[in-house]
Amino acid sequence: MMAAKTILVAGTYDTKDDELHYLAEIIHGQGGRVLSMDVSVLGDPSRPTDVSKHQVAEAGGSSIEAAIGAGDENTAMQIMGSGAAAKALELYRAGSIHGVVVLGGTMGTDLALDLCAALPLGVPKYVVSTVAFSPLLPPERIPADVQMILWSGGLFGLNSICKAALSQAAGAVLGAARAVEAPRRERPLIGMTSFGKTVLRYMVTLKPALEARGFEVAVFHATGMGGRAFESLSREGAFAAVMDFAPQEVSN
């Protein structure tokens, strides 16, 4: 029998309590487990979360009192965003979570992107946002493998329209956590950048030759998010070597 997967459900429980609990109910109803994280500042959830806002602020090297005392919503959310990212990574490394779904409006989405960016490539991460795919989200702020779902009609309170988006997100993240095949890293991995096969053909020669020498080779399409994924894995130390042959993204 497949072991139950645990999904981190994060958001501002002081303003989106009903919506976040609805997400959790759907995940539970499909046989998953939930670990809840409150990233609000001023208010409190209707019932305690697994990770409190105080723990989140402390993980960000600060405190709720400091966030409130800043007197500025942007500064407060930066504190909570830093803490949420650090706490989510800690939970993932401990094996406590297998995927994450974050709910947010404008400020909450900014925090959600920080949280998702902290998790390694391949960890299922979903953001349900009122500003998904909008110009408010520049490409450089979006993690390479995050999935976004527009939170239609969900700015204030539950309704049949926003429930459709929330239930899809709950099912998607749990399904992804169950189905994902995590990288095994059985062979040293080489990261290579290129354009399409018809433009730059060096990979056609290099890939099989490197594989014959015992390496695994991953070729990234260097046209934006592919390059972001390449750089993300580089920062994680996933590669034994890199062959960055298509560096035009430096100028882009």
Domain ranges of the chain: 6-179, 189-250
Per-residue pLDDT band for 198 (boundaries 50, 70, 90) equals low
**What CA–CA distance (Å, rounded) separates 215 from 97?**
30
Q: What is the pLDDT of residue 231?
A: 86
- Region 6-179: CATH code: 3.40.50.12020
Res 1 pLDDT > 70: no
Question: According to the model, what pLDDT value does residue 139 have?
Answer: 82
pLDDT band at 245 (very low <50, low <70, confident <90, very high): confident
- Higher pLDDT among residues 249 and 114, named by residue: 114
> What pLDDT, on a 0 to 100 scale, did the predictor assign at position 2?
65
Sheet holding 189-194, edge to edge: 216-221, 189-194, 241-244
Does the structure show a pLDDT above 60 at 201? yes
**The pLDDT of residue 199:** 63
Residue appearing with tokens 């096969």:
197
pLDDT of residue 195: 82
Predicted pLDDT at 127:
97
Distances (CA, A) of 233 to 99, 117, 145, 218, 250: 18, 12, 11, 11, 17
Q: Does pLDDT of 243 surpass 60?
A: yes
pLDDT-above-70 percentage for the chain: 97
Confidence of residue 186 (pLDDT cuts 50, 70, 90): confident
Q: What pLDDT, on the 0 to 100 scale, is given for residue 252? A: 64
User: According to the model, what pLDDT value does residue 244 have?
Assistant: 87
Residue 3: its pLDDT value, please? 81
Average pLDDT (150-155) is: 83
Mean pLDDT of the chain: 90
3-state secondary structure of 26: helix
The predicted model gives 61-66 an average pLDDT of 93
What is the per-residue pLDDT across 89-137, written as a single tens digit (0 to 9) for each?
Answer: 999 999 999 999 999 988 899 999 999 999 998 899 999 999 998 888 8
- Helices within the chain (DSSP H only): 17-29, 53-59, 64-69, 73-93, 106-118, 160-179, 202-212, 225-235
